[in-house]
Structure 1
Amino acid sequence: MSPAPLLLIGVAAGSVSALLYAAAASGSALALMLLYVAPLPILLAGVGWRHHAGLAGAAFGMVALTLAIGPKTGLYFALAVGLPAWWLAYLALLARVDAATGVTEWYPVGRLVAWCAGLGALLVAATVPLVGSTLEEYRAALRDVFSKALMGASPGGEAPQLPGGQDPKAVIELMTIAAPGLAATVWTLSTLLNLWLAGRICRSSGRLVRPWPDLAAMDPPRAAALILAAGFLGSFLPGLPGLIAALFAATFLLVFTLLGLAVMHVTTRAAPARGLILFALYALLMLQPWIALFLAGLGLSEQLFGIRRRFGPPPGGPPPTAPANLP
């Protein structure tokens, strides 16, 4: 495809993405949802029309927001939305050809998941200095936000009565401690969902370059377990280093939770009640999120012992339909 159509597609994707990002400024719940889907147009452009269109979209969105709102908004858009979406689209189509066999090897899904986790932790970590220069300042700012939100929900502006007689101060403190890790995890999960949606839409329209991967066969790099362990141990450090380490622990815990789910998908393939088992598992995960710890343990066991190998190789995908991003 000539550069002009790619540029037009990138401009269109960047415009939509920038509008979604700007709409989040209102601070409403719906606006925050729009913020999480802001990378999707750039991912669609990058996956469907190669990474050149995604890069054009990221650049146009940054320039448009810089001119319309200000340079800080344009810079934040580029760092939080545009460039991560372009990079993930580039990696998703990255491939190499084995000189001996002529087989095209595509960038592994497990590495894409690990990239999303690393980016999620880094982006939330990058916002910390904008809120406070120390851990105490950062948590004080979060505590103030949650206090105002909780008190504002009460008609008299006083501490509301919580179910079970819970102490509002204790709830606010828990939210203050959990919020950074939760934000990084939600960003990682939303980015994975956006990448999946971009792939499915491009596949349905016939524009997907790579064959659709068997997601249940995802295999994160070995370094992911080391990052999880280092993040967990580092979270005990005092100050901001401990907070940043906890962000990586949270996002890479999600990586191994997804790997645990992949193990369940593979090991239940021959089960007659597979659909019911998986439905019950996902429902339980939604109702009792702490189940994720057991799934993460299963994911770690898979990386150590290769549980899925005992259930046969994954089915192959269709052949590629277009050139890849060959290195």
Structure 2
Amino acid sequence: MTQFLGIGIGAGLVSALLFGVLLKGTLLSIVLYLLAPLPILIVGLGWSHKAALVAAITGAVALAFLQPFLGLGFLAYLALPAWWLAYLALLGRPNADGTMEWYPTGRLLAWTAGTAFVAVTVIAAPNYSELQIRLRATVLEAVKLQSQDRIVPQTPSKESQSQLPSASDTVAEKLPKDQSSNVESPSELQVKLVESFVAIAPAFATHALTTLLTLYLWVSARIVRVSGRLPRPWPDIPSTKMPRTILGLLAAGIILASASGSIGALGIALLGALAAAFQLQGLAAFHDRSRFLPARPALLFGLYFVLLATNGVALFALTLFGLADTAFNRRRPKEDAGRT
């Protein structure tokens, strides 16, 4: 018990320090902030979920002394999700033949999406209207600046300076005649673009957090495995298959997203988290289905190249692939998956 407390307190302070440096606003502070959940996950996987819980509480209390809301944000957004995933990852039950059946990676992936959805909802829900206003203003300003950069004329030559309009001329007078009648159109387009982005912003938030939590869990497990403290054998990740019950959540998300206001935002956030989970499921299915194929290295290289070259556009196809893999479950079952 004393060891768990000591390890947990130390990990919590380190995690709080990594999270707190975000206040500096530098590039290095952002990188360190992204590493904040790792200490909690490492002690949770290498020692006990109790140590991870101690770390989460310690980090939150330490940050609360600086800013109370900062401590609550750390606890709800990163610390508790990290503890919960570490707890689930080490769940297991003995079988009659003496082997150990560990918590399936597919269910763990589904819980990762659910945890990300809950974390974002808890953080954003109390001040969602204010967040919308701030986000709308920020994005609109960015769009306006980008539009201005596109229409700024090049520096004129000395011969043409005398023909330039005065500083009091309107924007329409500065534009060619065929464009002057469309001065108001970009403003309308900007508003529509901003409103669309604000509407789907919850999906971006949950999608990013689901992906990050999955990456954190994988990296932490790798680190603990190298140290020899990981009690669970390394799972067959390509055989990951989420339960079909996740499709019920997908249907619920679609129904909620069709509503307006905060209810619709909840549905959009849920769809974003599930989209990330289905993408990871599709990635695992591609790895699994390409086993033992002579062209597997070329196929995997092509897959990742397309994902990077299209700036994420191909993720939509990967989402559909993961959705179909979950719904139809055509892959051959692995009888010994999750056992040791």
| TM-score (normalizing by structure 2) | 0.81
Residue 149 (structure 2) aligns with: 160
* 1: CA distance, partners of 2:199 / 2:90: 38
In structure 2, the partner of 1:49 is 47
Counterpart in the other structure of 1:94: 91
Q: Against the structure 1 CA distance between its residues 294 and 111, is the aligned structure 2 distance closer, same or farther, given a 3 Å change threshold? A: same
1:292 paired residue number: 315
| Superposed CA offset, 1:54-78 (max 9, x none) | 11111111111122x1322222211
1:217-232 maps to which residues of 2 (within 5 A)? 217-232=239-254
| In structure 1, C-alpha distance between the alignment counterparts of 2:85 and 2:45, rounded to whole Å | 9
Bigger shift: residues 102-111 or 297-306:
297-306
Give the greater-gyration-radius structure (CA). 2
Indicate which of 64, 68, 71 corresponds to 2:68.
71
Paired position in structure 2 for 1:270: 292
User: 1:122, CA displacement in angstroms?
Assistant: 1.8
Question: Taking structure 1 as reference, are residues 204 and 80 closer, same or farther at Cα in structure 2, changes over 3 Å only?
Answer: same
Q: Do the aligned partners of 1:228 and 1:253 also contact (CA within 8 Å) in 2? A: no
- 201-210 or 258-267, larger mean C-alpha shift: 258-267
C-alpha displacement at 1:43, in angstroms?
A: 0.2
Q: Would you say 1:7 and 2:11 are equivalent positions?
A: no
Q: Gaps spanning 5+ residues in structure 1: where?
A: 320-327
Change (3 A) 1:286 1:315: farther
1:85 corresponds to which of 79, 82, 85: 82
The residue identity in structure 2 corresponding to 1:285 is L
C-alpha separation between the residues in 2 aligned to 1:274 and 1:230? 37
- Paired residues for 1:242-261 under 5 Å: 242-261=264-283
Q: Are residues 35 and 130 of structure 1, via their aligned partners in 2, closer, same or farther at CA, if it must alter by over 3 Å?
A: farther
1:142 aligns with 2:163: no
C-alpha displacement of 1:229: 2.1
- Contact 2:135/2:198 (8 A) holds in 1: yes
Matched-pair contact (CA < 8 Å) for 1:55–1:86: yes
What is the distance in 1 between the residues matched to 2:278 and 2:19?
Answer: 30
Q: d(CA) in 1 for partners of 2:326 and 2:67?
A: 46
Answer whether contact 2:45 2:90 (CA < 8 A) is retained: yes
**Matches for 1:151-230 after TM superposition, within 5 Å:** 159-161=148-150, 169=191, 171-230=193-252
Correspondence for 1:305: 328
Query: What's the offset of the Cα at 1:305?
Result: 2.6
How many equivalent residue pairs?
304
Counterpart in the other structure of 1:103: 99
**AA in 2 matched with 1:50:** S
Kept in 2, the 8 Å contact 1:14–1:57? The answer is yes
Q: Which deviates the most, 190-199 or 8-17?
A: 8-17
Offset, 1:307: 2.3
Q: Which residue of 1 aligns with 2:258?
A: 236
1 CA distance for matches of 2:283 and 2:58?
Answer: 38
For 2:141 and 2:25, locate their aligned partners in 1 and report how far apart those are by CA, in whole Å.
14
Cα gap change, 1:192 to 1:277, in 2 (>3 Å)? same
CA contact (8 A) 1:160 1:168 kept: no
Q: CA RMSD in A?
A: 2.5
CA contact (8 A) 1:92 1:107 kept: yes
Identity fraction in percent: 38
Q: CA deviation at 1:12?
A: 1.6
Q: How far has the Cα of 1:13 moved from its partner?
A: 0.9
State the SS of the aligned residue for 1:187.
Answer: helix
Letter in 2 for 1:260: G
User: Unaligned stretches of 5+ in structure 2?
Assistant: 152-185
For residue 169 of structure 1, report the CA deviation from its aligned partner: 5.0
The question of whether the paired residues in 2 share the 8 Å contact of 1:229 and 1:249 is answered with no
For residues 37-94 of structure 1, what are the alpha-carbon distances to aligned partners after superposition, in whole Å with 9 as ceiling and x for unaligned?
2111100010011112111111111111122x13222222111121111111111111
1:324 maps to what in 2? none
Q: What do the CA deviations read for 1:91-148 (whole angstroms, capped 9, x no partner)? A: 11111112x3222110111111111111212222223334344xxx543321112234
Matched residue type, 1:145: T
Where does structure 1 differ by over 4 angstroms across 4 or more consecutive aligned residues?
Answer: 148-151, 166-171, 314-319
